[in-house]
Every structure is written in C-alpha cells, then in structure tokens.
Chain A
Amino acid sequence: MKVRAIDIGGAIGAVALLALAPVLGNSGYLTGVLTLCVIYAIWAASWDFMSGLTGRENFGHALFIGAGAYTAGFLATVYFANPWWSLPLSVVVAMAFAVIVGFPTLRLRGPYFALAMLSAAAIMQRLMLIFWEQTGGEEGLYGLEPLINSPLHYYWFVLAVMVVTAAVLMLLARSHWGLILRAIKGDEATCQAAGINVTFYKIASLMISAAFAGLGGALYAHYQLQVSPPLFSVITSITIIIMVYVGGMGSIWGPVLGAILLTLLTEMLRGFGEYRLWIYTLVLMLILFFLPGGLVAPLWRRLTGARS
C-alpha cells in the first residue's frame, strides 16, 4: 500500500492534537490519562508488529511488559540506580525473555503458541507472588522515581517515544523485513523453500516486539511509580489484543489509535467500575462478529478513499 499525503497529514494532525490536548484542556487529569493512552499505544504497536504481521498471536504480551516494568522496579528499589537506566535495561531484559520463551514456543503454530505465551505470562505473575520477599508480592515494588518531574513534560517524552516506536515499526513493516514476516504468515514451508530462515525472523521479530513492550513497561513503571503482579496478568495481554483488534490488525498505526481510543473509553467508563471489563468484552464480541477487520484502520481507509 502506498503512503499518501493524506495519511502523513492525518498522522501529523493526530500527533499534534495529542501533544496539544493537555495544554488546551489545561488539566492534570487529562495529562495523566493521555500518558496512559500513549503507553498502551506503544504496547499495542509492539504487539501488532510481531503478531499482526506473522499471524502468531501472542496471548502473553504482558510477559514482556511486566519484565520491563519489574526491571525498572528492581533498579529503583534494590540498586537505587539512576532512573534513566531503566529504559535501556528494561529493553535488554524484555529481549532476553523473548529469546528464552521464543525458542521453544515459536516452533508452534496458532493456538499452541498463543496458549504457551499465555501460560508463560501467567506463571511469571505467579512467580512474583511466590518470591514475595524479593518482589514485594501482591503489593509489588514501591518508591520508583519519576524520570521527569513535570507530568506534562513526561507525557511529551512518552509521546515522543511512542511516535518513534510507531515510526520504526511501520518502517520495518514496510521494508523487506515486513515482507518476510507477511510471507511467514502466508506459509512457513514456502518460506523455507524460498531460502528464508523462518526461525531467525520469528525470534528476531519477537525480540523487537518485546523490546518496545519492555520499554513501555518501564515508562509505565515510572509513571505509576510502582509495579505489581497484575502487570503480568492475562487481562493486560487481552486488553492489548482487543485494542489491536479495534484498531485493525497489521497496520501498526491502527492499533495505536485503537489503544488511545479504548483507554479514553475506559476512563470515561470509570464510573461503571466493576462492569468495565464487561463493556470491553462486549466491544470485543461486537468486533469479532461484525467487524473482523477492525474499526479504525478500515474506517480511515474508507473515509479517505484508499483502495484496499
């Protein structure tokens, strides 16, 4: 698909709107919500790069998010490191997790891989509780320092990270690398016959996906100033997948917008408290049954008259 002027214009407009919204709204609350939106956008984009392109749906993305966040947590509470170390180290740790988990699981197809990842994340969550002396158990780790003191400046920083993340992943997805990932989705045996090292590309893509998820995890940890086991939970993973679904799988920018919209929706539904997850489930069912291609990306293409 060609990149059109209107797409670039739309992207610049969206980023400008995101950057200016807290200033225009002049509300600390809005800044906080938008920071969360943008962090979810990083997670959704990183999920989509691996799973949307190769068709290997990762039901345990929370594994990498939690790994990144806990890395930040340990650095702050055990090693009292400069908080900026969190960012590179969480990336490294999340990538290490991707290698360890990816080698056994990425040989598997479809639901097998999905379930293996789901289990891996569930068990990490469990481990956080088992080793409560080190991890703080249910309460998790407290006392992280903010990376940037001004919430507005931190928001802009996170927004910049998100824009770079999305740009890098989209460029990769449009490159030969992305072509190979789409070929893997098509037929692995044919990829082999075309001389492509399928395992390498799958592991490397999972590592890239994990790297950005872990980075987002660290940004989240320094936003909440604490980390706790639910970061590893199935709900975290499934929330991201729903966001990708709403955005339109495989386009990267669609899931970014899907994440932002759904996080905003979540905030608006805060009054519904415990029923929120049901509303999410309902959204998911409606999308599954009526809009299998997603909402955001197809809608934009339709509105701007793109073919396919």
Chain B
Amino acid sequence: MDKGVLATALGSPAPFGQSQFAFMRGNAFEAKVKADGGAELLRLLYERLGGGSPAPDQHAATPDLSAAGPEGRAARTALALREATAAGGWALLDHPMLALEVAGSPAYLEPDAVVVHPDGRWTVVEIKSFPMIDASADAAKVGAAARQAAVYVLALERVAAVVEGAEVGHQVLLVCPKDFSNLPTASVVDVRKQRAVTRRQLTRLTRIEDIAQTLPEGTTFDPACGPQELESAVSSVDAAYAPECLAACELAFHCRSRSRAEGAVESLGRSVRGELGGLTTVAGVLAAAAGKEGDPADPTVAALRRAAALRAEALESAALLRVGALESAAAREGAAACR
C-alpha cells in the first residue's frame, strides 16, 4: 500500500520530496567513495576497524550481486556472503539486498555496502552526504543513520546465523564528506543500542494479519475510492498521532487533522499528555481548569485550577500596569499640551 498516494486521495498530501540537487550530490559522493573497486572505502574501513587483519590489497573481492527480483538478489547476496566468508579475504558487497520480516511480511533492504573481513566479520557501511565538520556531524542525522544501519545489522544477523564463522559487527562505518570538500572521511558508530531497540520494536509489532482481521469486511484502501470511503477505512485502523509523526509519515497531516478534531491533547506534544494525567481532551482540561468539571481532590485538577488562577491574576495585573502607564503618558502629554 502506498501511503503517499493514499494521503493525496484523502486530501492531505505528504509534504515530502527530495531536491534533485541533494539527490545528485548524494549519488556523486557515493560513486566517488566506491570508485576504483572501493579502494578508498576499504582504506577508511581498515583504518577505523581493521583489527588484526592484513591490510586490504588491490584485489578485494567485489562479487556481482545482480539477479532478478528482490528475492533473487537477496538469495544472491546470501550466497556471496557465504563464499566471501569461506574465502577468508576482504570482500566488498556493493548494494546487497537483505530480507527482514516486519510484522509478519518480508521487507527488502538495500544497505550502501557490506564489507566482509578476513576474520569473518561483516561490517555495514553507510554512505551519507551530510558533512562531518571538524570530525563532528549533525547529531540528529547521525542518529537517523545509526537507526537505519541497525536495521541492516539485524537483517544481516539472520544470514550470518546460518553461515559458519560469520559474525556481524555491531559497529558500523559511517562515511561522510569531510568539512566543506567532497573528500570522504569516516567514523565508527556503535549501533548496539539502536539494534536492541529496533529488535524489541520488531517483536512487539502487531502482525499485519492480526490488524487485517480486526478490520470490517470489505475495507479497502484503494485510492480510486471516494474520500469518504477511504476516510472511514483509515479511521478503522488505530493510529496514535504525535507531532513527531509529521517528520516521518505520509499520513501525518491526515492524522493530525483527526487528532485536532477530536480535541486530543497529544496534538500539542507527547509531553503534554504526561502532564495532564487522566484528562485527554482540550475541552476537558479547560473545563477542569475553569472549575466547571473535575474532582478538586485530583492533584492534576487542583494544579490546573491553581495554574489558571495564577495566570489570570498575572495577566490582569499586567493589563492594569499597562493601562496605568498609558494613562500617565497621556497625562504627561496633556500637561505638555496645556503648557
């Protein structure tokens, strides 16, 4: 199902897109890093994660991974990984294809590169085009890259489990442009934490069949249907909207308008919900603050009423002050005019 198309059909199209400048730059940089049989990439990797292995020479293996369809490419990748591990040398897999089960259905993933070390270790390589300036990069972007690499590590582990002598490194190599140039530089990122988080989330995901079972018979997400039919279809699936969704999900604007229409306090941020205890709607909170609803013995309600009283008092005193200032200014002007 294409969520982007669905969002457009619902009337809240996703605001995402990639600039062709960024796209071109990313591709050009990746090509530069992998040029020459990946010599530069292997050099960087050896410097950062070489361990006790001999330095990669000119002829690191770069197996051909082309095959028909994602299943074929994934099988080809698994085979190449097994052969490279058995050969006991350096090998660079350019754009391998990995399979990972997500919520009961297979998802195919394509890391930028995977390197097989002579000692049987596999390292995920992520090539990104955001710069590393003075050896530090934007923390948010590095975090996103680490989460992405953690998924690749998980997918690789499934392959490694059936290959003798293979082990997936939990340290990935992040390759970025250095400072303001297009020269590559690399940094080792430890993804153990991201890997553990992702693994836990994957096991907790509700399986798609289970979600499908809860849907009413005949529910369809076909974008050709009318908006109303789609609207009810989408609302039959639970969604927990939070403002963070806006950066990631195509349907976020749709969920936001629904969340706002319901008056859910989460539309103002997840932390807001935590502060307000059992009160979940905007109207409910305001009624409690105004003293119209709610149990005064509830600490949240009591705190809200006090906050409302303090806020009203402060605004009133400020308004009085301003009126006073205006009046005295007017009086001064009046006096000046008299003179």
Q: Do A and B make up one complex?
A: no
